[in-house]
Amino acid sequence: MTIHALLALLADGEIHSGQSIASALGVSRTAVWKQIKRVQAEGYEVEKIRGHGYRLVKSIDFLSGPRILAGLPPQISDRILLQIFSETDSTNTEVSRMLVAAEPGQIPVCMANRQSAGRGRHGRVWQSPGDDNIYLSLGCRLAGGYSALDGLSLVVGVSLVEALRALEVPHLALKWPNDLLLNGAKLAGVLIELRGELEGAVQVVVGVGLNVHMQGQQDIDQTWTSLAQACPERRWVRNEIAAGLITALTANIDAFAERGFGAFREAWQSLDVFSGCAVSSSSGELSGIGRGVDDAGNYLIEGSGGIEAVRAGELSLRAAS
């Protein structure tokens, strides 16, 4: 029996008798007791109620592979190789390993409850506390070389919006190249890593960090929000959200491989938080009015000398003050 299996049973916060846990997991009651101690040592508060059993004092939104797979359309779940970790350094690192071993057509996906070395863009740390958020990476091989991948990160942004709109999340917008904003604060970030070519195709790892339950002070240097913070009246279930993300990402990456970014340009423009606003590049060398993106996903800034294109990966943008 693993801590993971025991936590899955206790996650609902209900009382579970030692005997029912032992039968469900096929172990002795002494083994249950030992694992309860390990769960407590991991920082979970487990109450022992004399004569009744054990209960997690605070229920958790437990990540479950079978539940995520059950939420996918069959034509997608048939292709997904899903691994879930209670903790790993970075799901991007895990999925790049899975990608090397994957058969053509298979899509490796890795999720973790917690990351010990989550990576953000520009070498930043991505804070990844346990039980709170979604840390998800998906791997694929795309033909056409590196230049054909311009625009992919924007397609990922559009996919996040599609998945969350299906769950009726309001007020979403995208900040070029791919930050997802809710009410103007960062809800999710995307880190795409390219791992070199294998048999003519680039190995692509798409990592998504999406704040779900996170609340309060965290050591984060940008204005952020979470689904629970923005919509506290809703009950957010990570398995359900993850299934929607995997579905949208898989379908849209397939469409991107076939038709390129042009097929997504309009959708992206309609979500552009900077459209018609004064913007400047983070280095300060370009400034003007945000005019959306071209067919390669470059951001267009209209300045005094006309329209200039900013290449994804080169710069980030901010509202001009």
- Residue 48 bears catalytic tag: no
The separation between CA 203 and the C-alpha centre of its own chain, rounded to angstroms, equals: 19
Q: How many CB atoms lie within 10 A of CB 15?
A: 15
Work out whether 127 is an interface residue with ligand BTN (CB under 6 A): no
User: Judged by CB, which is closer to ligand BTN: 55, or 121?
Assistant: 121
Q: Which residue has the tokens 């010990």?
A: 116
Work out whether 118 is an interface residue with ligand BTN (CB under 6 A): yes
DSSP-assigned states of every residue in 107-130: EEEEEEEEESS-B-GGG-B----T
- Residue 186 bears catalytic tag: yes
* Binding-residue total with ligand BTN (CB under 6 A): 20
User: Judged by CB, which is closer to ligand BTN: 118, or 244?
Assistant: 118
Angle (CA) 232 234 183, round 5°: 55
Of residues 191, 192, 257, 279, which one binds ligand BTN by CB under 6 A? 191
- Residue 238 bears catalytic tag: no
Angle (CA) 175 177 178, round 5°: 70
Please state the closest distance from residue 129 (CB atom) to ligand BTN, in A.
Answer: 12
Of residues 99, 140, 149, 190, which one binds ligand BTN by CB under 6 A? 190
Listed ranges 7-15, 56-64, 111-119, 302-310: which one lies at the site for ligand BTN (CB under 6 A): 111-119
Q: Which of 186, 238, 265, 291 is catalytic?
A: 186
The separation between CA 66 and the C-alpha centre of its own chain, rounded to angstroms, equals: 18
Length of the chain: 321
Cα 289 to Cα 238: distance, rounded to the nearest angstrom? 38
Which pair of tokens denotes residue 70?
């059950």
User: Judged by CB, which is closer to ligand BTN: 53, or 207?
Assistant: 207
Q: Which of 55, 79, 114, 121 is catalytic?
A: 121
Of residues 207, 244, 290, 297, which one binds ligand BTN by CB under 6 A? 207
Work out whether 139 is an interface residue with ligand BTN (CB under 6 A): no
CB-nearest residue to ligand BTN = 189
Q: Are 261 and 155 in contact (CB under 8 A)?
A: yes
In the 8-state DSSP scheme, what is residue 170?
A: -
Of residues 209, 288, 290, 297, which one binds ligand BTN by CB under 6 A? 209
Cα 43 to Cα 217: distance, rounded to the nearest angstrom? 19
Q: In 3-state terms, what secondary structure has residue 320?
A: coil
Cα 260 to Cα 42: distance, rounded to the nearest angstrom? 46
Of residues 22, 33, 83, 120, which one binds ligand BTN by CB under 6 A? 120
Active site residues: 121, 186, 318
Chain residues that interact with ligand BTN, rule: CB under 6 A: 90-92, 115, 118-121, 124, 126, 135-137, 179, 189-191, 207-209
